[in-house]
Chain A
Amino acid sequence: MQLTHSKKTLRTMLLTAAVSALAISSVSAETLRWARAGDSLTLDPHAQNEGPTHTLAHQIYEPLIIRDMSGQFQAALATDWAPSPDDPNVWVFNLREGVTYHDGAAFTAEDVVFSIGRAQSENSNMKELLNSIVEVRAVDDLTVEMVTDGPNPILPSNLTNLFMMDSGWAESNGVVEVQDVEGGETTFAATNANGTGAYKLVSREPDVRTVLTQNENYWGIGQFPLEVTEIIYTPIQNAATRVAALLSGEVDFIQDVPVQDLDRVANTDGLIVKTAPQNRVIFFGMNMGAADIANDNVDGANPLADVRVRRAMNMAINRDAIQQVVMRGQSQPAGMIAPPFVNGWTAEMDGSVSTDIDAARALMAEAGYGDGFSIQLDCPNDRYINDEAICQAAVGMMAQIGITVNLDAKPKAQHFPLITNGETDFYMLGWGVPTYDSEYIFNFLTHTRGEDRGSWNGTGYSNPEMDAMIQSLASETDLSARNATIQAIWDDVQEQQLYLPIHHQVLNWGMSDAVGIDVSPEDDPKFKFFTMN
């Protein structure tokens, strides 16, 4: 009873505040017209774990913790967080006071309990990030405790895309459950939104146009620039059209500028291009686990199982040539499969490779493949920047050490199942690390393929010792011991040449020079940080 009463008073207060705020903010209305290649798939914040979907959700909804535009943690709906001093298996989050949803309802600990539970439910695509959480408790209105199945030092990094939803709104609109694609009916939450974020949804036509307007009651007013008052988001798939829209001034900000148009945009008056390394590394994987592989011309043996062959292949790749010719300078050659922001990355390992054809040929001869062999390379043609062209370049480089590569490039929808089903022997993959920690890479790419881990490990590599080390990372609370284990695993990965790193992708954002923002490594602009001149 008391709750409803206080909610009502609050609502009246907010309404008054809203009316007065409206009068002020209409003075300096700055509209940002934003375009990128793809649209968000759904407004339901827990239904999809995908870049463009999260990017739109970040404007409307908020997680407890966000990453700012440089990738650092920043308090959002939680003001501070720490492991409980009494129990290493518990994280305590103190929530921000006085936060309301766009419909006026107050944000409380109850909503955190509800949202985490919703994100853990069967139809949620976010549940794998929350595997370790056993229980979420609301201690009081502004304190939440998360109990994990063992100490989990990196739990906060799994929460930066985990959005908070109002439990009352979800109940009254019948969206307590995440949408079940085959459930028959579309859900209210897929096309409507009620978050705590800096922007409110005004209208949305999927794949056509989404309009957001600033939330006058946002808790962060005064703390963030918030100079963009209206956002018009239009997906433009065709790269040439997207660039044309920016050149002609029809949009102010585009996220993916094709590398061949960078100079054109940068040389146009009133437009600028900003570039930064992306949280994504591109590499080749090799099936080394099988006794014999199907897509080569060697009978009864697997040349890729020999580490000397893998090292020779690594030496044959001329990363500088790929960077200069294929990527037109828009990449950073890589020596390890971790992006530079990630805990465990070292400049030493990343810079460790150099092209040496003679040494590579010698290694091939030593391994008994002096005459080379032939193999098929599977490559996507619509996923990474210039993916097919990189593979074509690799074909020529491998030929220099006698390996005849047959390139098979196809759309991502056909390429990725080959990796996850273990049907390819030599493939391209790119990997981003949303948790900014090496454990994420190991879990998916180097752990033995099994129920919970190793789902993207298409190499067939299996090393029980390494698996044990990887599993220990999940509950090691001593950070220096944990980092030592991470380094030990990396040493192994590098020593065994499990993957052939190519480069770190570089992000290019094109924008009107009125827009002030730096590129974020995860390609997710958060418009509350934007300035407008």
Chain B
Amino acid sequence: MLAYILRRIFQSLIVLLAVGFVAFAMFSFVGDPVDNMLGQERTQADIERLREQLGLDQPFIVQYWRFLEQAAQGNFGLSYRQGRPVSEIIAERLPATVELALVSGFLAFIGGVGLGVFTAIRRHGLLPSFIMTASLVGVSLPTFLIGILLIYIFSVELGWLPSFGRGEVVDLGGWTTGFLTASGLKALILPAITLGLYQMTLIMRLVRTEMLEVLRMDYIRFARARGLTEKTINFRHALKNTLVPVITITGLQLGSIIAFAIITETVFQWPGVGLLFINAVQFVDIPVMAAYLMMISVMFVGINLIVDVLYFAIDPRLRIERSVGGH
């Protein structure tokens, strides 16, 4: 068990190093940060001085090594754009993204399961067909279009909800939250729907398919024969067995919600890490890009590591394979 976990951790580290390597190899194609950092009046001497100072004249391998050296000591450098420590900026921005991801993940789960169960039980009729068709739209419409559409309806035409920003936030010792103010909660609604819509339709379709599968099982037929109420059969027996794969998918999707909130955050000017990353790419702010990509890969690798370890604990076959050896 311990050897297995250690091996997985070792493999995860290699993945992280590889992600960093690819990221640094690509930074040189994003553009030249020096051009953005100096005004249009700068001289060639200024450019060279700054390039040297930032180590941009070095090959990317050297830059990557310097980043690793510093990162190992917990120092991610200064943002080229803001001139402040990257770790401080990310810590400032992370709560916004995490809160948005949690709310939209929650909405997606509740909405997806509810609608999935409904469309599985009522397979025919106007409403279920409408929901199924609408879910196709949810899957296929690009996020920014949904965002703009919602802004147009709820901010411009109806004037109910804010079109940008996070509203007022309360600082709880380094963690800013929008959950505690009315304007903060209002500001959450549109971005959370925009970000969660795709996940919701995904979960809904998954639940529906799984549920239809389960409803055909023998034990459901027996339950019916025993004369159990429809409610008990659908929710106590069928839904419970449906949820196992759904929860796994939802957990994994939470990671991608955080990682891919970039577009939603740009449309709603949501001050999270996704918007930070977009700004960093436009400015060629290498320290911020590097730290963000590392953070996201640590998150994904971490989730997968936990899943692997859980599988190992749950699935006895993984253990047997070890003792049998090669074949």
Contacts and interface: CB of A to CB of B under 8 A. Distances in A.
Interface residues of A, number: 54
A125 B50 CA distance: 11
Given A237-B269, A413-B33, A190 B84 contact: yes
B43 interface: yes
Nearest to A453: B43
Nearest to B85: A186
Interface string A232-267: 001111101110110111100000000000000000
Given A208-B271, A420-B35, A244 B156 contact: yes
Nearest to A414: B31
A250 B271 contact: no
Interface string A49-92: 11000000000000000000000000000000000000000000
B155 A244 contact: yes
Interface string A147-159: 0000000000000
B209 interface: no
Interface in A202-253: 205-209, 234-238, 240-242, 244-245, 247-250
A47 interface: yes
B84 A234 contact: no
Contact of A241 (B31, B269, B276): B269
Contacts of B155: 244-245, 248, 250
B38 interface: yes
A519 B320 CA distance: 76
A405 B255 CA distance: 44
B31 A413 contact: yes
Given A129-B41, A452-B43, A182 B163 contact: no
Contact of A47 (B47, B54, B83, B278): B83
A249 B151 contact: no
Interface in B130-159: 148, 151-152, 155-156, 159
Given A184-B78, A208-B165, A179 B83 contact: yes
Interface stretch (B57-65, B279-287, B295-303): B279-287
A181 B283 contact: no
A191 B30 contact: no
A486 B242 CA distance: 80
B40 A248 contact: no
B29 to A, nearest CB: 8
A455 B268 CA distance: 39
Interface residues of B, number: 56
Contacts, number: 146
A237 B275 CA distance: 9
B284 A206 contact: no
B279 A181 contact: no
Contacts of B284: 413
A207 B279 contact: yes
Contacts of A50: 39
B152 A244 contact: yes
Given A241-B267, A413-B31, A206 B82 contact: yes
A208 B45 CA distance: 34
Given A125-B38, A186-B83, A238-B266, A245 B54 contact: no
A250 B164 contact: yes
B92 interface: yes
Interface string A184-199: 1011001100000000
A240 B148 contact: yes
B44 interface: yes
Contacts of B92: 205
Contact of B156 (A41, A186, A234, A248): A248
B269 A235 contact: yes
Contact of A181 (B35, B46, B53, B88): B53
B81 interface: yes
A205 B271 contact: yes
B90 interface: no
B80 interface: yes
B42 A241 contact: no
A248 B47 CA distance: 44
Interface of B: 29-33, 35-47, 49-50, 53-55, 78, 80-85, 88-89, 92, 148, 151-152, 155-156, 159, 162-166, 266-269, 271, 275-276, 278-279, 282-284
24 contacts: A41-B83, A42-B83, A49-B38, A129-B41, A181-B53, A181-B80, A181-B83, A184-B78, A206-B82, A206-B89, A207-B275, A208-B271, A235-B269, A241-B151, A242-B164, A244-B151, A247-B156, A248-B156, A250-B162, A413-B33, A413-B35, A413-B284, A414-B32, A420-B35
Minimum-distance CB pairs A-B, first 7: A413-B31, A49-B39, A128-B41, A414-B31, A417-B32, A208-B271, A244-B163
